[in-house]
Amino acid sequence: MIYMDRRLFQILDHINEGIIIIDEKLNIIYWNTQMEKLTNIKQEKAINRNLYERLPSLDRNYFRNAIDSVVKKDYKYFFSSSIHKGLITDSRKVNVRVNPFKIDNSRYVLIECIDVTSQALRIEQLKKFSNELYLLNKELKEKEKEIEKLAYYDQLTGLANRTLFYNMAEKFLEEAKRNNTKLGLMFIDIDQFKRINDKYGHKVGDQVVVEVANLLEKSTRKHDIVSRYGGDEFLILLPNIKHYNNYKIIASRIAIANRRVIVSDDIQIDISLSIGVSFYPRDGETIDDLIFKADKAMYCAKNRGGNECIHYITK
Amino acid sequence: MHEKDLTYDILKEIFNIGVGKAANMLSEIVGKKIILDIPNITILESKEDDEEIYKHFSALPQGALMVSSMKFGEKITGEANLLFPANKMRIFINLCIGQPEYMNEEDLNFTDMDFDIIREVGNIILNSIIGEIGNTLDISLKYTLPEVRLFNKSKFEIGLKDKEEFCILLLYISFIIDDVKIEGAVIINLTIDSLNELMKMTKDIEDDLYG
Amino acid sequence: MKILIVDDSRFTQLTTAKLLKNQIGDVEIFFANDGEEGFKKYKEFNPDYVFVDLLMPNVSGQQLIKLIKEYDKDSNIFVISADVQKNVREEIESYGVIQFINKPFTDEKVKLVTKIIKGDTYA
């Protein structure tokens, strides 16, 4: 039996952490007051009992191996409360430190049990708070995106609006100037749109606009920008057109696309489109030039009866 | 020292066994299989030029580092540091406590509880590795419990270079747990005397084997 | 008796050989540095016992054991491994090896091994 000054044990009784001392044979030789509080096991019921018998929660393979290395190899161990739930007690979060020591050629193991329940609780609260902030932040970012969408996209069709069109058009024009490439611009107007509106009402008119938007998106290339310029007018930017005549490929895709809008069982509307095209550098140096000329070409198409795509011709 | 030297091979095998034991204990604690890789070691002495040392350090994990440091002493004296890239630690910590969290995984704000987990893991790995040196050479060593700190990689390098007359055993370890690959390093700073002692003892083993 | 030791560590090759020689005496020992070489030498020398490490470059110990067992289902294999996780051990034991031994290979462990080998021989 270890010889220790009783007064030392009395001091350990006032320490704010649980202390167990065991001998080499794993018998408990000291158990302080704080241990009593942690486990509800009285000193006199613990002393001279086997550690694992008294605290069966410690009887885990890795803990046994750890104690073995502490006794035989002077290792020290630390067991954190977050990984090892219920190592000492189920009701509190306890960090456990295991240290060897030697007195008069006998080996002992000091097991310190540090109650971190209140810290853990505070950290949990902080984590919860931080998670809430994270989620709130995410939500705000999504809102921001929505607001941005409102500013740059047409609400009815989801296409780029005028603002985004001008931003992109300037960008593409600069690129075309820098790289000596061609930029095409299509001006599209729905034929007889006013009549459709008058005959079937604005709701059907909106439906037609949406169908045309979808049709244009499907008929264009990946990097082309389709935008709603206003009412029944659409503008398409065609960057990197290799030959002026290549617009015809896109025009023919638009021409063969399904243009029948089914409003109800009785009402079906066949839409036709008038399209004018202009190009940088052939037809103008600025976006306004290009729009003006594409618009002119579109009117030519309209005057010839609509449902046609023609490019601007200098007189 | 040349990689084909037996001394080098002995050290490598000692670390191999140490890492294996650590993985065994960790896998028991977290209840998951750990897939191990063959560790690689390098020995650097302060007489080598800065460029050579820098070359080895540049292979360490990048960015912020989570470093556990443990001192050991008696016959061989030094300090062992376990380095993990901090950005992998959030996932690793969540794995250890078996708790998926919806928090940002790149979050580098660690709580005391998180540090405790790394302290425990660091303790297991460093104990096993240093302990295996003691086992093989049949010497007893005294250890401290590790301290855990978050470092910027460049600061950590400067801290190491400030130590005069050092020599370093650099050991790369990598393991996969639950499909997460974690690559770290163990840096063991030894005094020159201790390295010589270590070399002498491994030489003895070598002589014994060939003798 | 012929024994093949497959390990990427020269140190373990030598200590294993030395320990076995001390206990068994009359024994011819061959070495291989990885699984690939190990299988080649197994076919070449047809050893009575093989000692295999698990964590090796090229062909791993696991793969080598499978190859040897496919080639010769009566082969006698001991595993000496640093990877001592329970599930690794169980997987390897399911391949029909004689014994799974944790590294390092020591005096105590070699005595157990020789007991098994001698039991085999004189049974």
Please give, rounded to a whole number of angstroms, the shortest distance from the CA of B148 to a CA of chain C. Answer: 26
Q: Are the Cβ atoms of A80 and B120 closer than 8 angstroms? A: yes
Average pLDDT over residues A237-247: 90
pLDDT digits (tens, 9 = 90+) for A127-139: 888 888 888 999 9
Q: Do domains A6-115 and A162-311 have the same CATH topology?
A: no
User: How many Cβ atoms sit within 10 Å of the Cβ of residue A92?
Assistant: 18
Give the count of alpha carbons within 13 A of B80, CB side only.
Answer: 26
- For C115, residues 6+ apart whose C-beta sits below 8 A from its C-beta are none
Identify from B93, B120, B130 which residue to disrupt to test chain A contact, counting A C-beta atoms within 10 A and taking the largest count. B120
**Which amino acid is residue C95, in one-letter code?**
Y
Q: Which chains contact B through at least 3 pairs of Cβ atoms less than 8 Å apart?
A: A, C
Q: Tell me which chain A residues have a C-beta less than 8 angstroms from the C-beta of B146.
A: 78
Percentage of the residues of chain A whose pLDDT score is greater than 70: 98
pLDDT digits (tens, 9 = 90+) for A288-308: 999 999 999 999 988 888 888
- Whether residue A29 is predicted with pLDDT greater than 70 in this model: the reply is yes
Backbone phi and psi for residue A91, each to the nearest 5 degrees, phi listed first: -90, -15
Q: Is A168 on the interface with B (CB under 8 A)?
A: no
Percentage of the residues of chain A whose pLDDT score is greater than 90: 65
pLDDT at B46: 65
Average pLDDT over residues A172-179: 94
Nearest-CB residue to C15 (from B12, B27, B209): B209
Average pLDDT over residues A238-254: 89
Better-predicted residue by pLDDT, A194 or B203: A194
Q: Are the Cβ atoms of B23 and C14 closer than 8 angstroms? A: no
- Whether residue A194 is predicted with pLDDT greater than 80 in this model: the reply is yes
Separation CA B153–CA A264 (nearest Å)? 68
- Whether residue A1 is predicted with pLDDT greater than 80 in this model: the reply is no
Contact A156, A210 (CB under 8 A): yes
Find the radius of gyration of the CA atoms of chain B.
Answer: 17
Per the rule left: phi > 0, alpha: psi between -120 and 50, beta: everything else, A305 is: left
Identify from C85, C86, C87, C106 which residue to disrupt to test chain B contact, counting B C-beta atoms within 10 A and taking the largest count. C85
Q: Are the Cβ atoms of B112 and A123 closer than 8 angstroms? A: yes
The pTM (predicted TM-score) of the whole model is 0.70
Domain B6-210: assigned CATH number: 3.40.1550.10
Q: Are the Cβ atoms of C83 and B21 closer than 8 angstroms? A: no
pLDDT digits (tens, 9 = 90+) for B17-53: 999 999 999 999 888 889 888 778 888 876 666 666 6
pLDDT at A117: 93
Q: Where are the domains of chain B?
A: 6-210
Q: Which residue in chain C is spatially nearest to B14 when comparing CA positions?
A: C104
pLDDT at A23: 93
pLDDT digits (tens, 9 = 90+) for B136-181: 888 888 888 888 988 877 777 766 666 666 788 888 888 888 888 8
Q: Are the Cβ atoms of A77 and B123 closer than 8 angstroms? A: yes
Q: Tell me which chain B residues have a C-beta less than 8 angstroms from the C-beta of A123.
A: 111-113
pLDDT at C123: 43
Instruction: Give the helix ranges, DSSP H, for B31-111.
Output: 50-57, 86-96
Contact B128, B21 (CB under 8 A): yes
Q: Where are the domains of chain A?
A: 6-115, 162-311
Contact B87, B64 (CB under 8 A): yes
- For C59, residues 6+ apart whose C-beta sits below 8 A from its C-beta are C34, C35, C36, C38, C39, C67
Provide the b/e sequence for B132-162 (b: ≥16 CB within 10 Å): bbbbbbeeebebebbebeebebeebbeebee
Separation CA C1–CA B31 (nearest Å)? 42
- Taking CB atoms and an 8 Å cut-off, how many pairs form between chains A and B? 78
pLDDT at B49: 61
Q: Is C10 on the interface with B (CB under 8 A)?
A: yes
Secondary structure tally for chain A: helices H, strands E: 11, 12
Separation CA B210–CA B10 (nearest Å)? 14
Please give the mean pLDDT across all residues of chain A.
Answer: 90
Q: Are the Cβ atoms of B33 and C103 closer than 8 angstroms? A: no
Architecture of the domain made up of A6-115: 2-Layer Sandwich (3.30)
Give the count of alpha carbons within 13 A of A143, CB side only.
Answer: 6
Nearest-CB residue to B13 (from C12, C85, C87): C12
Q: Which chains contact C through at least 3 pairs of Cβ atoms less than 8 Å apart?
A: B
pLDDT at A180: 92
Q: What domains are there in chain C, each with its CATH number?
A: 2-122 (3.40.50.2300)
Low-confidence ranges of chain C (pLDDT < 70): 120-123
Superfamily of domain A162-311: Reverse transcriptase/Diguanylate cyclase domain (3.30.70.270)
pLDDT at B4: 63
Q: Is B29 on the interface with A (CB under 8 A)?
A: yes
**Which tokens in the block code for residue A35?**
């241990």
